[in-house]
């Protein structure tokens, strides 16, 4: 186990008593127990109190715009799958502005962890209702009560075959640490929602309110996280009883496995000067042209031609080829590019 002070970041600006403190403490404990060093993890955050989470850790971090944590996290994971990648977002950040990206991540199954801070309010912008605010709750902007029922995001995740789905509570640190460890070591997309009371703007869903309602779903006699119907029912359960623990788990191919180029190691460690190598077969990249000139072993055009990439244009000594015009057209487009780059090639 690594020392906890290894992960110490800058001084926190959260409100005293904020549920984020419990989340942060449990997360550091999970990293230490898993022996994940600061340089081995990248954390992406958006806007909101949750967006400050990686600031208070020592780690690689990217703080982006509202609702866009998952696209950036997925890009980092594809560029360097040697890194452990975590996206952290609030309920508004992820289920509101970023809801479309959540659906895309559930579908593609990238091997990363998403931690959602669910305080059922927009806390950074002074207490507006969020997608998870309970119906009837009164806020500064909804003085007559929220007219809509809350979004059951975990039920959507079950319906979309999320490969690992769990819920924790910031008031139960040891249990939350265990969930973090499972999410971080799961192969595939792991979604961990954490019930995180906002002590300033949410006077309903408080620590005592949750303590009366949360229960460990894994202690239930009928516990079966691989049963989709059971998992869906638990994901929808809310009110007098709120389940915490691992709700759904299933094995699925990951996004990384769909890209053979990653088998040769992280993209950031592969040779940067041959961007077309992975798209063309070896038979094209090696051998001779029909006119007897030896082809360039990388791109296939005759030796002696000079090339470099500039803004999506591949420049040859006899002119420029706009590659953008040929993107998205499949194998026939690539075959056409072969002929443009190497006249006389027939195979």
Per the DSSP assignment, residues forming a β-bridge with 11 are none
Sort residue 330 into left (φ over 0), alpha (ψ -120 to 50) or beta: left
Q: Examine the domain organization and report whether 20 and 164 are in the same domain.
A: yes
In a domain, 153, yes or no: yes
In a domain, 262, yes or no: no
Q: Examine the domain organization and report whether 287 and 231 are in the same domain.
A: no
Residue 274's pLDDT is what? 52
* Per-residue pLDDT tens digits for 44-53: 998 888 888 9
What is the pTM (predicted TM-score) of this model? Answer: 0.77
Spatial distance between the Cα atoms of 130 and 149, rounded to a whole number of angstroms: 11
At which of 257, 280, 305 does a domain end? 257
Residue 336's pLDDT is what? 46
At which of 232, 257, 282 does a domain end? 257
CA 82 from centroid of its chain's CA atoms: 15
The first and second tokens of residue 275, run together, are: 């961007």
Number of domains in the chain: 2
Q: Examine the domain organization and report whether 134 and 276 are in the same domain.
A: no
For residue 340, is pLDDT > 70?
no
Q: Examine the domain organization and report whether 247 and 336 are in the same domain.
A: no
Q: Examine the domain organization and report whether 185 and 222 are in the same domain.
A: yes
The first and second tokens of residue 266, run together, are: 């992280």
The first and second tokens of residue 4, run together, are: 């906890």
In a domain, 148, yes or no: yes
* Per-residue pLDDT tens digits for 319-338: 444 444 444 444 444 444 44
In a domain, 74, yes or no: yes
- Parent domain of 70: 4-257
Are 225 and 231 in contact by the 8 Å Cβ rule? The answer is yes
Q: Examine the domain organization and report whether 130 and 245 are in the same domain.
A: yes
Spatial distance between the Cα atoms of 118 and 145, rounded to a whole number of angstroms: 19
Residue 216's pLDDT is what? 97
User: How buried is residue 3: exposed, middle or buried, by Cβ count under 10 Å (0-12/13-18/19+)?
Assistant: exposed
In a domain, 80, yes or no: yes
- Any idea which of 174-178, 201-205, 227-231 has the lowest mean pLDDT? 201-205
Model confidence at 97, in pLDDT bands (50, 70, 90)?
confident
Rounded mean pLDDT, 7-13 = 91
Please indicate whether residue 318 or residue 85 has the higher confidence score (pLDDT). 85
At which of 211, 235, 257 does a domain end? 257
Q: Could you give the percent of the chain with pLDDT greater than 90?
A: 58
Q: Examine the domain organization and report whether 251 and 294 are in the same domain.
A: no
For residue 3, is pLDDT > 80?
yes
Q: Examine the domain organization and report whether 167 and 287 are in the same domain.
A: no
Are 270 and 125 in contact by the 8 Å Cβ rule? The answer is no
Q: Examine the domain organization and report whether 336 and 194 are in the same domain.
A: no
117 CB contacts (<8 Å, ≥6 apart)? 19, 20, 23, 48, 49, 50, 53, 88, 89, 90, 91, 194, 196
In a domain, 263, yes or no: no
Q: Examine the domain organization and report whether 275 and 240 are in the same domain.
A: no
In a domain, 304, yes or no: yes
In a domain, 107, yes or no: yes
Spatial distance between the Cα atoms of 117 and 96, rounded to a whole number of angstroms: 13
Q: Examine the domain organization and report whether 237 and 276 are in the same domain.
A: no
CB atoms near residue 341 (< 10 Å): 22
Q: Examine the domain organization and report whether 337 and 232 are in the same domain.
A: no
For residue 200, is pLDDT > 50?
yes
């Amino acid at each position: 186990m690594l020392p906890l002070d290894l992960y110490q970041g800058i001084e926190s600006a959260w409100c005293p008593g904020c549920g984020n403190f419990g989340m942060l403490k449990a997360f550091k404990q999970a990293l230490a127990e898993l022996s994940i060093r600061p340089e081995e993890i990248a954390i992406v955050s958006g806007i909101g109190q949750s967006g400050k989470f990686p600031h208070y850790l020592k780690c690689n971090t990217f703080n982006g715009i509202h609702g866009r944590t998952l696209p950036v996290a997925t890009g980092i994971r594809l560029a360097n799958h040697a890194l452990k990648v975590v996206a952290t977002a609030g309920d508004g950040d992820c289920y509101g502005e970023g809801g479309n990206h959540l659906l895309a991540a559930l579908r593609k199954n990238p091997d990363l962890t998403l931690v959602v801070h669910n305080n059922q309010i927009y806390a950074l912008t002074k207490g507006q209702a969020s997608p998870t605010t309970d119906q009837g709750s009164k806020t500064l902007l909804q003085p007559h009560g929220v007219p809509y029922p809350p979004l059951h995001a975990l039920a959507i995740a079950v319906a979309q075959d999320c490969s690992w789905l769990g819920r924790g509570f910031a008031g139960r640190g040891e249990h939350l640490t265990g969930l973090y460890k499972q999410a971080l070591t799961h192969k595939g997309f792991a979604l961990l929602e954490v019930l995180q009371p906002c002590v300033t703007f949410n006077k309903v869903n408080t620590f005592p309110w949750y303590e009366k309602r949360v229960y460990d779903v894994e202690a239930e006699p009928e516990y079966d996280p691989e049963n989709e119907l059971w998992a869906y029912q638990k994901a929808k359960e809310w009110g007098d009883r709120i389940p915490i623990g691992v709700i759904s788990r299933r094995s699925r191919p990951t996004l990384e496995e769909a890209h053979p180029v990653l088998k040769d190691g992280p993209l950031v460690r592969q040779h940067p000067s041959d961007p077309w190598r992975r798209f063309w077969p070896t038979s094209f990249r090696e051998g001779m042209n029909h006119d007897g000139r030896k082809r360039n072993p990388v791109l296939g055009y005759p030796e002696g031609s000079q090339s470099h990439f500039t803004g999506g244009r591949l420049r040859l000594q006899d002119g420029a080829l706009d590659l953008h015009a040929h993107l998205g057209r499949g194998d026939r487009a690539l075959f056409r590019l072969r002929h443009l780059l190497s006249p006389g090639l027939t195979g």
